[in-house]
Structure 1
Amino acid sequence: MLPMKIIKNICNQNRVIFLILTYVLSILAREISSEGIAISYTVLALSILLTYKTRGNSWESNLSSLDLFYASTFSGLVPRYLSVMILGLMGQLIIGPPRFYSLPMLILTSIIEELYFRAELYGELESRYGGRRAYLMTTCLYAFFHIPIVAFFKLLSLLPLFLLLGILFQELRLRWGLTSSIIAHITYNIIGIFYTVSFEIFSVFVISASLIIVILLIKFLA
């Protein structure tokens, strides 16, 4: 236990540097290993365990438990629902057998991403650089995390989509706490197992527009 305690103390003294290093390592692990995704999220999970710091306002919400669940589920469901309707009408949606085998991984990775990006990374950046810069840096790092290096330029058109997803989850975390962003993230990912989208420019535009609508609803009407 002593070596682990020493490692944890070192990590706590240099939290931002450590979190950025684990971010880079997780991306590299994903790119160079056949078990890349599992290793990538394991690295993020370990960094959370080593640097986790309880912040009083991270989990706070002014909503009741039931209202929090409804609002968060709505926030994750509506962007999918709107984009599915439009893309379905345009014939750019493939409905297939639900990929239930991916469900446990989707839930786990959603939780890890929220704890890493919205709790640990944002919390540390905010304490050093202020809320606006932390918001911007966290959102950008979250978006780039989802673009594979080997196909970076080919998939660069997806960057706006992931930036908007980062903004959506960040807004939920700031407004209703981490529980809200976790629920919305899980909901958003789970709905995706029921269909496949051809990520062409029009599809990205429709999904991005759906996300913008929900972000505006949360920011100005919720």
Structure 2
Amino acid sequence: MSEAVAPGIIRKLWPGEQQVLRDHLLRLDPESRRSRFCSAVSDEFIDHYAARVFRSGSLIHGAFVDGALRAAAELYPDSEIMAEGAEMAFSVESAFQNLGLGTQLLERSILAARNRGIRRLHLSCLAHNRRMQQIVRKFDADLSFEHDEVQAELTAPFATAVSLAQEATADVRGMAGTLFQVQRRATGVMLDLFLPTPKAA
């Protein structure tokens, strides 16, 4: 199946959205969990992981579909000050794979990295994760195979006034989209409260 146009909203996650990320990771099926963490992990592991991830200086972008986080890209700078490199990790719920979410999230992560002076980006994935390998190849990644894992290295361009404006615009659009989704859900709740319940036949 070829990638379709990705639905939903791509935006940064806020530190207060730890529970949102946790719930997304818990929804990953066993194969998607192995793809994200390069091994099988328990629910307890994910609980501890989500509790500390925002304290590690990471930058996380999420793909929200109908208000729910369905895919995430995590960027971990190698230093809190003047980082030169960063690790990346991606997770996509199985029902939302092959929709282009991974490509959009990687593109947004590269944009965020370049605007912070981070040029060396590294990603590890399992050797059988062909989908992720195809995505990083779109961005001219260098791939090397080591046992059952693949190491991908990307180089982010230097920041420009245009790239800074692109990230600022994306942040504004993400915020506006989130507010729209919240308003739409609230409207739906109000309609449910005031519309008469159909009587059983």
- Normalising by the residue count of structure 2, what TM-score does the alignment of the two structures yield? 0.30
- Normalising by the residue count of structure 1, what TM-score does the alignment of the two structures yield? 0.28
Higher relative contact order (CA 8 A, sep 6+): 1
